[in-house]
Amino acid sequence: MNSALSGLRVAFLHMATYSQTIEKLIEEFGKLPGIGKRTAERLAFHVLKSDEAAAMALANAIADVKTKIRPCRDCFNLAEGELCAVCSDPRRDRSLLCVVEQPKDLLAVESTGAYRGLYHVLMGQIAPLEGVAPEDLTIDALVARVKGGTVKEVILATNPTVSGDATALHICALLAAAGVQVTRLARGLPTGGQIEYANKSILTDAITQRRGV
Ligand SMILES: [Zn+2]
């Protein structure tokens, strides 16, 4: 009797967990930002119910983004080839360089339609407490680009946060001797805010009313 009962319990416990393959998918979905265990389960079962073509399209899209996308040779924006879409566009004003922290910020500035120059993506901000030093960013490449001679104005569009401001100051000091105009986005943006979440018209004003530093 006892052994029959414990056998039942083992069977029940086994049923209470999914197969290893499904568990693995739930675990991977659960690692995504903002996805809790319940949502991870829902997503995994959604994939399980989907037809094979739809599920493989998702898997391939994830694989492609890791194998085909790389940093742009010139500005470090996300690119499918050697140069990103902005750098390879001959209509862009090559005398203007807008310095942003992340590709997301570049997209936010692009969405305003108020800017027709090129960009430079730092890939972060100087944050000593988090172990991010200037050498960890693309600042050396930025200075080399500016010294190349085509750039006339550098717009510092780092976030209006303590680290964003410190990063802008650091770059400003490095460019002091380069003979270019250095400007910073106007302060319409809320201090401590993030460019990627800024209202489009506020961001447009911040770009058009930028001022020298
Ligand atoms: Zn580029």
Residue whose tokens read 């829902």:
42
Measured CA to CA, the distance from residue 112 to residue 129 in angstroms comes to 33
- Reported confidence tier of residue 1, pLDDT bands at 50, 70, 90: very low
* Per-residue pLDDT reduced to its tens digit, 62-76: 999 999 999 999 999
Token look-up 């802008």 returns 168
CA of 108 to the centre of ligand 1 (A): 15
CA of 87 to the centre of ligand 1 (A): 4
> How much distance in Å is there from the Cα of 123 to the middle of ligand 1?
13
Going by C-beta distance under 8 Å and a sequence separation of 6 or more, which residues neighbour residue 8? none
What spacing in Å lies between the alpha carbon of 89 and ligand 1's midpoint? 9
pLDDT-derived band at 15, boundaries 50, 70, 90 = low
Residues measured by CB to lie within 5 Å of ligand 1, the ion: 72, 74-75, 77, 84, 87
- The amino acid that residue 74 corresponds to is D
CA of 208 to the centre of ligand 1 (A): 22
Q: What rounded mean pLDDT belongs to the chain?
A: 90
CA of 74 from ligand 1 middle (Å) equals 5
> Could you report the per-residue pLDDT of 111-149, keeping only the tens digit for each?
999 999 999 999 999 998 899 999 999 999 999 999 998
Which residues are paired to 127 by β-bridges? 132
Q: How far is the CA of 212 from the centre of ligand 1 (A)?
A: 24
Give the pLDDT confidence of 49-60 residue by residue, as tens digits: 999 999 999 999
Give SS3 for 155.
strand
DSSP secondary structure, 15-84, as one string: HHS--HHHHHHHHHHHTSTT--HHHHHHHHHHHHHS-HHHHHHHHHHHHHHHHT-EE-TTT--EESSSS-
List Cα–Cα distances, 127 to 102, 103, 130, 132, 167, in angstroms. 14, 18, 5, 5, 8
DSSP classification of residue 26:
H
11, pLDDT greater than 80: no
Radius of gyration of the chain (CA): 24
Half-sphere exposure of 123 (CA within 13 A, CB side): 18
